[in-house]
Amino acid sequence: MKVMITGYGRMGKLIEKTLTSAGDQVVARIDLDNSTMLETLEKVADVIMDFSNPSFTDQVIAYSSRTATPLLSGTTNMTALQHKALADLAECGGPEGHGVPVLWASNYSLGINLFMHLLPQVATALEDWDIEITETHHNKKVDAPSGTAKSLADAIDPEGNYKRVDGRSGNCGVRSKKEIGIHALRGGTVTGEHKVDFFGNDEVFEITHKAGSRQILVDGAIGAARKLILKRPGLYDMESLLFGA
Q: Which residues contact 128 (CB under 8 A, 6 or more apart)?
A: 177, 200
Q: Is the pLDDT of residue 77 over 90?
A: no
196: domain CATH number?
A: 3.30.360.10
Spatial contact of 197 and 132, defined as CB atoms under 8 Å apart:
yes
- Looking at the fold, whether 206 and 122 belong to one and the same domain comes out as yes
Taking residues 133-146, what's their average pLDDT?
94
For residue 200, the SS3 value is strand
How far is CA 127 from each of CA 98, 136, 152, 199, rounded to the nearest angstrom? 42, 25, 16, 10
- Looking at the fold, whether 13 and 49 belong to one and the same domain comes out as yes
226: domain CATH number?
A: 3.40.50.720
Helix (H) or strand (E) holding 49: strand 47-50
What sections of the chain are H helices per DSSP? Answer: 10-21, 54-67, 80-92, 110-125, 147-156, 215-228, 238-243
Q: Is the pLDDT of residue 120 over 90?
A: yes
- Looking at the fold, whether 177 and 203 belong to one and the same domain comes out as yes
Taking residues 88-107, what's their average pLDDT?
91
Catalytic residue numbers read 137, 141
pLDDT at 93: 80
- What confidence tens digit (pLDDT) does each residue in 54-75 have? 999 999 999 999 999 999 999 9
- Looking at the fold, whether 20 and 89 belong to one and the same domain comes out as yes
pLDDT at 95: 81
* Sign of the alpha-carbon dihedral angle for 125, 128, 134, 135: positive
Taking residues 43-47, what's their average pLDDT?
97
pLDDT at 65: 96
For residue 44, the SS3 value is coil
pLDDT at 85: 96
Q: Is the pLDDT of residue 35 over 80?
A: yes
Q: Is the pLDDT of residue 197 over 70?
A: yes
Rg, C-alpha atoms of the chain: 19
Higher-pLDDT residue of 245 and 175 is 175
Taking residues 218-233, what's their average pLDDT?
97
Q: How confident is the model at residue 44 (pLDDT cuts 50, 70, 90)?
A: very high
The residue range of the domain holding 49 is: 2-104+215-243
pLDDT at 245: 60
- Looking at the fold, whether 39 and 67 belong to one and the same domain comes out as yes
- Looking at the fold, whether 92 and 65 belong to one and the same domain comes out as yes
**Rounded Cα gap, residues 219 and 24, in angstroms:** 13
Q: How confident is the model at residue 103 (pLDDT cuts 50, 70, 90)?
A: very high
Q: How confident is the model at residue 98 (pLDDT cuts 50, 70, 90)?
A: confident
State the average pLDDT for the chain. 95
Q: Is the pLDDT of residue 22 over 90?
A: yes
Spatial contact of 205 and 126, defined as CB atoms under 8 Å apart:
yes
- Looking at the fold, whether 15 and 99 belong to one and the same domain comes out as yes
Spatial contact of 102 and 70, defined as CB atoms under 8 Å apart:
yes
Residue 181 pairs in a beta bridge with 132, 165
Number of domains in the chain: 2
